Structure 1
Amino acid sequence: MKETPVSRMRIQQARMLCLMGARAVTTAAATGIRPTDARAIYKEIHGTVSPPGQTPHSLEWYLERPARRLQASLLLKLYFLCIQSGYSTQQAFIAAYDVYWNIYGAADTSKRQQSERLIDPERGFYLVKRAGSFGALNAPGVGEAIAALPCRSCGLEILSPAHEAAFVCPQCASGFQNPGHRLRA
């Protein structure tokens, strides 16, 4: 790869994604570098080849558990804030995932603590790739659609089936009584 400021930035971004656990296939797609370069970076960082396997293909996965729903909503909101700030889609994903990564922390093997992070880079990239512009997220040919809808109780925008008219977020539905959670009077 010919060294240019743009290529150096993309390689730096690829390294960052690999350090956060992204496989080479996601690193290449998210940064625009060649797949062979992404595999080389992955091997350099992890000392082994990037794991093979299918990339995510279901939007329903994000709705299966309340914690996933909340974390995916946060990641998507961070992504769109970056887009609104003028970031390119590649930069927005990397910046949003970096903030998400730091919010939910890394695993601490010395204390036997696992990360609270539920969305790996592959799932995060799939989510923002399907998002396009703010509104319904559609998986082509599958017929599933989700959207960030405001909770009718607290107003928090949370991922939900796009056809759900009277949406209540998982926190309100479970009777969560934190007074700070209520965004509206």
Structure 2
Amino acid sequence: MTPEHEGLVERSRRIGLCAELCRMGARSAVAADLLGLPRRLAIQVYREVTGAAGPPRGRTPQSLEWFFESHRRRAQASHLALFIDAARTALIPGERLLAAYRSYRALHPGSVIDINRAAALLEGLSRGGVMLGSCEACAARVISTGEPRVYGAECPFCRGEGGEHQTANARLPQAASA
């Protein structure tokens, strides 16, 4: 292939990824940033895919603190962060986010984290604003803001708000003592 054809193929691939992100609810600005596309092009793709007059206005969710405001959010963000980490071989951040978010939605059909917040988590993980740590009590991988160790009181899984993981771990000590 000639370099100009490679450029066209790559641009077409990124436009297709932009359409997929927009179908999942991503704002055009988020898709443009993740894929390295011009904002005008991302807006055009957004309009075509969603049928809306334009993308939502206002600030894109970027606060990492939001993930720590409830144990349910922290638990789901921890699952999403694991999927993001597993998809780290994807070539561009948009592909990485799509792969991780699809897996996350399969695990949490009634998810509390939308694709735009997932993009903020990806950025936080990439820049070191948030990291995956391990709970000292149950060994679950949990998002953290700088300390690689998480303690039982902070762990959404130990607190019983992280889903089935906590239930399974809660039974282990009982079985061992019986």
Name the TM tier (shorter chain). Answer: 0.7 to 0.9
Q: Structure 1 residues 79 and 181 mapped into 2: Cα distance closer, same or farther (>3 Å)?
A: farther
8 Å Cα contact 1:154-1:182 kept in structure 2: no
Aligned mate of 1:4, from 8, 16, 21: 8
Asked if structure 2 preserves the Cα contact closer than 8 Å seen for 1:148 and 1:158, the reply is yes
* Equivalent residue, structure 1, for 2:118: 124
Tell me, yes or no, if structure 1 residue 149 matches structure 2 residue 152: no
Report the Cα distance in structure 1 between the residues aligned to 2:172 and 2:79, rounded to whole angstroms.
16
Task: Supply the distance in 2 between the matched residues of 1:54 and 1:69 (Cα, whole angstroms).
Answer: 22
For the residues of structure 2 that align with 1:53 and 1:174, how far apart are their CA atoms? 35
Q: Deviations over 1:89-114 (max 9, x none)?
A: 42212211222233323xxxxxxxxx
Q: Do the aligned residues in 2 keep the contact of 1:154 with 1:181 (CA within 8 Å)?
A: no
Which aligned segments of 4 or more residues in structure 1 are displaced greater than 4 angstroms?
163-166, 180-185
- 1:17 alignment partner AA: L
Which ranges in structure 1 are unaligned for 5 or more consecutive residues?
Answer: 106-115, 139-145
- Give the counterpart of 1:98 among 97, 102, 116: 102
Task: For 1:182 and 1:125, locate their aligned partners in 2 and report how far apart those are by CA, in whole Å.
Answer: 35
In structure 1, C-alpha distance between the alignment counterparts of 2:32 and 2:90, rounded to whole Å: 18
What is the CA deviation profile of residues 122-170 of structure 1, one whole-angstrom value per residue up to 9, with x for unaligned ones?
111111112127xxx32xxxxxxx4322111210111134348551212
Tell me the distance in 2 between the aligned counterparts of 1:99 and 1:183: 27
How much identity, in percent, do the aligned residues show? 29
Normalised by the length of structure 2, the TM-score is 0.79
Decide whether aligned partners of structure 1 residues 165 and 7 sit closer, same or farther in structure 2, where only a CA change above 3 A counts: closer
Gaps in structure 2 of 5+ consecutive residues:
none
The code of the aligned residue for 1:150 comes to S
Q: Which has the larger radius of gyration?
A: 2
1:88 to 76, 82, 91: 91
Contact 1:62–1:69 (CA<8 Å) still a contact in 2? yes
* TM-score, scaled relative to structure 1: 0.76
Distance in 1 (CA, whole Å) between partners of 2:171 and 2:145 is: 22
Q: Does 1:43 align with 2:29?
A: no
Q: Which amino acid aligns with 2:142?
A: I
Letter matched to residue 148 of structure 1 = L
Q: Contact (CA 8 Å) 1:160, 1:167: kept in 2 or not?
A: no
Point out the structure with the larger helix share: 2
Equivalent pair of 1:57/1:126 in contact (CA under 8 Å): yes
8 Å CA contact 1:155, 1:183 repeated in 2: no
Equivalent residue, structure 2, for 1:31 = 35
The CA deviation at 1:30 is 1.3
